[in-house]
Amino acid sequence: MIVMYEELKELMARKLEKAGLQPSHAEIVADVLAHADARGIHSHGAMRTEYYAERIAKGGITVDPDFKFTKTTPGTAVLDADNGAGHVAAKEAMEHAIGMARENGTAVVGIRRMSHSGAMSYFVQQAAEAGMIGISLCQSDPMVVPFGGAEPYFGTNPLAFAAPGKGDDKIIFDMATSVQAWGKILHARSKGESIPDTWAVDADGVPTTDPFKVTGLLPIAGPKGYGLMMMVDILSGVLLGLPFGKHVSSMYHDLTAGRELGQLHIVIDPGAFTSADLFRQNISGMMKELNEVKPAPGFDQVLYPGQNTTLQEQESMKNGIEIVDDILAYLRSDTVHNNQYDHKDPFAK
What pTM did the predictor assign? 0.94
Say yes or no to pLDDT of 78 above 90: yes
Query: What's the CATH number for 2-275+310-332?
Result: 3.30.1370.60
121: burial class by Cβ within 10 Å (0-12, 13-18, 19+)? buried
Q: Where does the pLDDT of residue 313 fall: very low under 50, low under 70, confident under 90, or very high at 90 and above?
A: very high
Say yes or no to pLDDT of 348 above 80: no
What is the rounded CA–CA span in Å between residue 184 and residue 76? 34
Q: Which 3-state string (H, E, C) describes 52-82?
A: HHHHHHCCCCECCCCCEEEEEECCEEEEECC
The domain segmentation of the chain, as residue ranges, is 2-275+310-332
Say yes or no to pLDDT of 334 above 60: yes
State the pLDDT at residue 190.
82
Answer whether 250's CB lies under 8 Å from 141's CB: yes
State the pLDDT at residue 349.
57
What is the rounded CA–CA span in Å between residue 285 and residue 165? 8
Phi, psi dihedral angles at 317 (to 5 degrees): -65, -25
Say yes or no to pLDDT of 100 above 60: yes
Q: Where are the alpha helices (DSSP H) in 251-342?
A: 276-291, 307-319, 325-332
Say yes or no to pLDDT of 1 above 70: yes
DSSP string computed for 192-208: T----TTSEE-TTS-B-
For residue 294, give the DSSP letter. Answer: P
Phi, psi dihedral angles at 214 (to 5 degrees): -70, 130
Say yes or no to pLDDT of 290 above 90: yes
Phi, psi dihedral angles at 79 (to 5 degrees): -110, 115
What is the rounded CA–CA span in Å between residue 88 and residue 268? 21
> Residue 327: CA atoms inside 13 Å, Cβ hemisphere, count?
25
Mean pLDDT of the chain: 95
State the pLDDT at residue 102.
98
pLDDT tens digits for range 143-201: 999 998 889 999 999 999 999 999 999 999 999 999 987 778 878 888 899 999 999 99
Strands of the chain, DSSP E: 2-3, 68-73, 76-80, 106-114, 133-138, 159-164, 170-175, 200-201, 216-217, 261-268, 321-322
For residues 264-275, average pLDDT: 98
Side chain identity at 213, as an amino acid letter?
K
pLDDT > 90 fraction of the chain, expressed in percent and rounded: 91
Catalytic positions are 116
